[in-house]
Chain A
């Protein structure tokens, strides 16, 4: 399943790597891409293992507030 998160707070392109690596290391996430310019975070994941809310929490641990978006 693909979930799109959005964060308006990304302020330094290097934080993209932080978020990407912590998402990618999460069990149940097969691919995560963070687009710095738009603040869009695309996550390919297994909703059984890791829910959308859990993804928001993981991004939060990297220091950025995110929310689930429809597109």
Chain B
């Protein structure tokens, strides 16, 4: 007997069990009371059971109120304790029992439901495995994952979670990266591929050279970001909290004043019962937590409630072109070269008639280029081999010989072109204007071809060696296939204005814009111009979202009402700075992010309305005499549950 009592007592130290036991016991006592009243019409039994119930449930509430008082802190529990004690004193036992029971039951149900809304975060934290298998000189040792150092080699077996961020050193596999990117289709990995902690290795065994571990991994950054976002207060929440901080003292004051005027103690106590601003203060946070958590699951990181509210109001969108609408990985698509037969046969090289050829690489089907084309690529590659321009990569990727000497001298003219010297050869690679500046003559024949390619949306670079034009290279940055679908979805979702902002040439930008279905193009502009255009759109009354890759669009992303960065999985800067970071390159996540934001925004509004209507109804009810202590507490707890459940709907949108 003593043993089982001790056990019961011990289990009561656990707050969840204690609450559960008290709720059940006081609930049973209330039921017993009504049963006694119904069958035996016994007032004595009814009152005794109700007092018992009120004391049971009230003990926990009074204990918390006392704990608060000891810390010089008044709380809602104190109000409920005063109301219930007062109720017992004036003999409304059923009301006192109902108030305390409902308060505990509501708190218990709310805690259970709220814990569901925190699922996403818990799941994310659980994604990271605790240990890693480190391979050193052929020996395998298992160590805690956060102790892995940069440069260590980690073995990841099929079916297990990857413990660190790193580069695949050997082996090949597919990896489920949905935790990081939200992308449901597994990604193929081979040596040199990047992998992230928290993703799941599916079918192959791989060895990974660690670059980041523990708190530095992308997953840890996502978790921190989601947490900070959920904790940041939305403007509505700040407003509501200001209101709530006046509400409770106001109601207490009202209770005292109304008692002094009416000497009606029950009315005064009822006012204390409805003094808890429960539904009000929880209305915004519940939507924000659920909305942000659900978005994070899809690889959409929203920085906080404020951004969620702003993103929900977006009416105009400015898009970067390269890397956003396009894949951002330019490839050589055409080569324009001269044929030299004329020169060989010609008598006077000055008078020769040069024939212009345009070779489309996609039609070429792996056939080798004519020698003039090869030569053109060779010289361009020599000059570009030390350049860091994105186009350089495309040209170097096309050069087949693989033996490119580095130039002796190199100079880059930003935005124009480059010049390089190798031995006696002097090379220019750049735009038409750059060639003209350098005194290279451009014949009409090739100029026409260049115009043609530009109209098709190609970026064209000219190549000259020793002041003689060798030809030109057309470089295409392919549009992402889902771009037109995304644009039409944005229009469907009520976005009124969509514009491309790009540093590229007008013709290139227009070609992409037409394909994607965008009518407004601002091309050939500098990063600070992008900023000005966004400010101008804002002055015209638009709520503007800027979408870019997060690095070179930083100023524009910052001045837009909402800055959205794409493909943020690998770039910490984007995760840290953008208001919304899309972990993957999936374009459809842009309309999705805006849609979820506006859904969350309207959810917040619904909740605020529910809470305010409840408060107004309760106050009216109390003063017209239709709401008493028990019904006041019931309505109050129901409104809290209504708000929580409404917020939880966001999990399924």
**Interface residues, chain A, with chain B CB atoms under 8 Å away:** 8-14, 17-18, 21-22, 24-25, 35-40, 57, 60-65, 69-71
Tell me the smallest distance from the CB of A70 to a CB of chain B, in Å. Answer: 8
**Residues of chain A within 8 A of B77, CB atoms compared:** 18
Closest A residue to B77 by beta carbon equals A18
Contact partner of B71 (CB less than 8 A), chosen from A21, A38, A65, A71, is: A21
**Residues of chain B within 8 A of A37, CB atoms compared:** 230-231, 285, 288-289
Complex Cα distance, B224 from A69, in Å, reads: 13
- Is the beta-carbon distance between A17 and B73 smaller than 8 angstroms? yes
**Residues of chain A within 8 A of B70, CB atoms compared:** 25
Tell me the smallest distance from the CB of A10 to a CB of chain B, in Å. Answer: 7
Tell me the smallest distance from the CB of A36 to a CB of chain B, in Å. Answer: 6
**Residues of chain B within 8 A of A24, CB atoms compared:** 71
- Is the beta-carbon distance between A21 and B122 smaller than 8 angstroms? no
Complex Cα distance, B640 from A29, in Å, reads: 33
Knowing A9-B16, A71-B220, the reply to whether A18 touches B73 (Cβ < 8 A) is: yes
Q: Count how many pairs of residues, one from A and one from B, have CB atoms less than 8 Å apart in the complex.
A: 97
Complex Cα distance, B122 from A38, in Å, reads: 10
- Is the beta-carbon distance between A14 and B76 smaller than 8 angstroms? yes
Task: State whether the Cβ of B186 lies closer than 8 Å to any Cβ in chain A.
Answer: no
**Residues of chain A within 8 A of B230, CB atoms compared:** 37-38
Complex Cα distance, B276 from A13, in Å, reads: 11
Task: State whether the Cβ of B118 lies closer than 8 Å to any Cβ in chain A.
Answer: yes
**Residues of chain A within 8 A of B278, CB atoms compared:** 12
- Is the beta-carbon distance between B67 and A62 smaller than 8 angstroms? yes
- Is the beta-carbon distance between A63 and B125 smaller than 8 angstroms? no
- Is the beta-carbon distance between A71 and B215 smaller than 8 angstroms? yes
Closest A residue to B233 by beta carbon equals A37
Task: State whether the Cβ of B60 lies closer than 8 Å to any Cβ in chain A.
Answer: yes
Segment of B106-114, B316-324, B360-368, B389-397 in the binding face: B106-114
Task: State whether the Cβ of B455 lies closer than 8 Å to any Cβ in chain A.
Answer: no
**Residues of chain A within 8 A of B107, CB atoms compared:** 11-12, 63
**Residues of chain B within 8 A of A9, CB atoms compared:** 15-16, 111-112, 114-115
- Is the beta-carbon distance between A65 and B231 smaller than 8 angstroms? no
- Is the beta-carbon distance between A63 and B110 smaller than 8 angstroms? no
Between A and B, 13 residue pairs with Cβ closer than 8 Å are A9-B115, A10-B111, A10-B114, A11-B110, A14-B75, A21-B71, A37-B231, A37-B289, A38-B118, A38-B230, A40-B227, A63-B19, A71-B215
- Is the beta-carbon distance between A65 and B121 smaller than 8 angstroms? no
- Is the beta-carbon distance between B281 and A12 smaller than 8 angstroms? yes
- Is the beta-carbon distance between A39 and B73 smaller than 8 angstroms? no
The 3 A-B residue pairs whose C-beta atoms are closest, nearest first, are: A8-B115, A11-B110, A9-B111
- Is the beta-carbon distance between B115 and A21 smaller than 8 angstroms? no
**Residues of chain A within 8 A of B16, CB atoms compared:** 9, 65
- Is the beta-carbon distance between A38 and B125 smaller than 8 angstroms? no
Closest B residue to A26 by beta carbon equals B71
Tell me the smallest distance from the CB of A3 to a CB of chain B, in Å. Answer: 15
